[in-house]
């Protein structure tokens, strides 16, 4: 019985029940626009994830010429928050 529990805990991901519920930054893990998962960033994950998110927003705005409204929809933020991020990173 104990061996069955140990084997069940060590199953391959293909055989586990995974629900892609995302996090507060993205509704789905598999469609997240960030280059790294916020949970892979260690104890300061929230701040680091926010910095990654902000840098990605700024990159898409400048390199891909995306609008603040389009970025707001993609990142699930308000248009005003996107504008603040762009202005702050433009001045740095």
Q: How confident is the model at residue 86 (pLDDT cuts 50, 70, 90)?
A: very high
Taking the C-alpha atoms of residue 90 and residue 87, their distance in angstroms, rounded to an integer, is: 5
Cβ atoms of 92 and 58 within 8 Å: the answer is no
| Maximum CA extent, the chain | 62
pLDDT at 16: 64
pTM of the predicted protein model = 0.55
Residue 83 has pLDDT above 60, yes or no: yes
């Amino acid at each position: 019985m104990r061996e069955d529990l140990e084997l069940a805990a060590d199953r391959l991901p293909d055989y586990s029940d995974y629900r892609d519920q995302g996090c507060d930054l993205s509704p789905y893990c598999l469609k997240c626009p960030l280059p790294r998962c916020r949970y892979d960033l260690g104890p300061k994950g929230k701040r680091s994830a926010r910095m990654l998110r902000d840098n990605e927003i700024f990159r898409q705005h400048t390199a891909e010429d995306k609008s603040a409204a389009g970025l707001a929809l993609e990142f699930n933020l308000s248009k005003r928050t996107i504008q603040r991020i762009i202005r702050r990173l433009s001045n740095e």
